[in-house]
Amino acid sequence: MSEIAIRGLTKYFGTNLVLDRVDLDIKAHQVVCLIGASGSGKSTLLRCINRLVEPDAGTITLDGVANDAPQFGRTGLQSKVGIVFQSYNLFPHLTVLANLTLAPCKVRGMPRRDAEARAHEVLARFGMERFARTYPEQLSGGQQQRVAIARAMMTTPDVLLLDEVTAALDPELVGEVLAIIRDLKTRGLTMVIVTHEMGFAQAVADRVCFLSGGRIIEEGPPEAIFTRPLHPTTQGFLARVLEPGQS
Partner 1 sequence: MPQAGSGHRLCPPPEGPPPRPRKAGFDWRAAFMPGLISSASIIVVFGTLAWLVTSADQWPRIKAQFFNIDHMIAAAPRVAQGFLTNLQVWLIALACIAVWALVLAVLRSLRGPVFAPFRLMVVLYIDFFRGVPALLLVILFGFGIPALNIPGLPNSGLFWGGVAMVLSYSAYVAEIYRSGIDAVHEGQRAAAKSLGLSEWQTLIYAILPQALRNVLPALMNIVVALQKDVALLSVIGVRDAVREAQIYTATTFNYSSLVVAALLFLLATIPMARIADWVNRRDRARRLQMAG
Ligand X SMILES: Nc1ncnc2c1ncn2[C@@H]1O[C@H](COP(=O)(O)OP(=O)(O)OP(=O)(O)O)[C@@H](O)[C@H]1O
User: Where on the chain is the footprint of Mg ion (CB under 5 A)?
Assistant: 43
38 binds ligand X (CB under 6 A): yes
The secondary structure of the chain, three-state, reads: CCCEEEEEEEEEECCEEEEEEEEEEECCCCEEEEEECCCCCHHHHHHHHCCCCCCCEEEEEECCEECCCHHHCCCHHHHHEEEECCCCCCCCCCCHHHHHHHHHHHCCCCCHHHHHHHHHHHHHHCCCHHHCCCCHHHCCHHHHHHHHHHHHHCCCCCEEEEECCCCCCCHHHHHHHHHHHHHHHHCCCEEEEECCCHHHHHHHCCEEEEEECCEEEEEECHHHHHHCCCCHHHHHHHHHHHCCCCC
**Cβ of residue 114: shortest distance to ligand X, in angstroms?**
36
85 binds partner 1 (CB under 8 A): yes
24 binds partner 1 (CB under 8 A): no
Q: Which stretch binds ligand X (CB under 6 A): 39-47, 107-115, 168-176, 197-205?
A: 39-47
**Cβ of residue 150: shortest distance to partner 1, in angstroms?**
12
Cβ closest to partner 1, residue 27 vs residue 112? 112
Cβ closest to partner 1, residue 67 vs residue 212? 67
| Binding test (CB under 8 A) with partner 1, winner from 30, 44, 78, 212 | 78
In the region spanning residues 42 to 101, those forming contacts with ligand X, defined by CB under 6 A, are 42-44
Cβ closest to ligand X, residue 23 vs residue 183? 23
Contact residues for partner 1, defined by CB under 8 A: 47, 50, 52, 74-75, 78-79, 82-83, 85, 87, 89-93, 102-103, 106-108, 137, 151-152
Contact residues for ligand X, defined by CB under 6 A: 13, 18, 36, 38-44
